[in-house]
Amino acid sequence: MRRVDGTISATRKPQAACEKTTVISRTGPRRSESVRLAVLHAADDLLVERGFAALTIEGIAHRAGVAKQTIYRWWKSKVDILLDTLTDDAREALAWHVDEGDGDSGKDALTSHLQRVADFFEEPAGKVLQALLGQAQLDGDTAASLRDGFLREQRERDKAGLRDLLGCDGIFVDDRHLDRLVDLLLGPLYHRVLVFGAPIDKELVESTSRLVLTLAREMSTEAS
């Protein structure tokens, strides 16, 4: 995947605008994985290049080297395609790595995770999420699909990851407190990007990590 600044991410290599991916014809009830990936890669590349409003099924089909009818066979709209590419890319990019860090391991691991979230927003997949969140404010179907699918699933992953990380530090909180801690952990980052359109700096990452960990310890003490 290509970063917004033009450098190459480890996720995948960029595809030139004039280059079409070689795809395998669909011959049965299952769609070809090469077709699926070609369409998803084309969609997030074009979103970064042209923006959500200018993104079209025709453009995606041309960039991917597939027929428009092939796309409509598997996706109802460009929103559905973007949801698929977001789910694929975010699964690894937003994964929790509880065992990393040394010294004050809880703070180190939490800071590292928030930095990955910050980096994600600079990637094409992060731009996809921003575009879908914007569209969700205008379209109820997009909002429902995004919240009932990707956002709900990522929320569960975030709660599980934070629970495991805190547990490694001997901090245990109930589900209600855990839910609030996830809000406090990710809220400042989303606010910085979505409201102000500004990059997430190291100071925000470190201060958010430190404050959430401190609050989690206080909650754990109250619960014991």
- Residue 70 resides in a domain: no
Single-letter amino acid, residue 121: F
Rounded to the nearest angstrom, the gap between the alpha carbon of residue 180 and the centroid of all alpha carbons in its chain is 20
The pLDDT of residue 100 = 59
Mean pLDDT calculated for residue range 189-206: 97
In this structure, are residues 139 and 185 in contact, taking their beta carbons and an 8 Å threshold?
no
| CATH code: domain of residue 190 | 1.10.357.10
Query: Residue 210 sits in which domain range?
Result: 94-223
Q: How many CB atoms lie within 10 A of CB 22?
A: 8
- Residue 33 resides in a domain: no
- Residue 155 resides in a domain: yes
Q: Hey, CA dihedral for 184, 185, 190, 196, is it positive or negative? A: positive
3-state secondary structure of 135: helix
Structurally, the chain folds into a number of domains equal to 1
Mean pLDDT calculated for residue range 131-155: 97
Could you read off the pLDDT of 72-124 as tens digits, one per residue?
Answer: 999 999 999 999 999 999 999 999 998 755 545 788 999 999 999 999 999 99
Dihedral pair phi/psi, residue 173, rounded to 5°: -125, 160
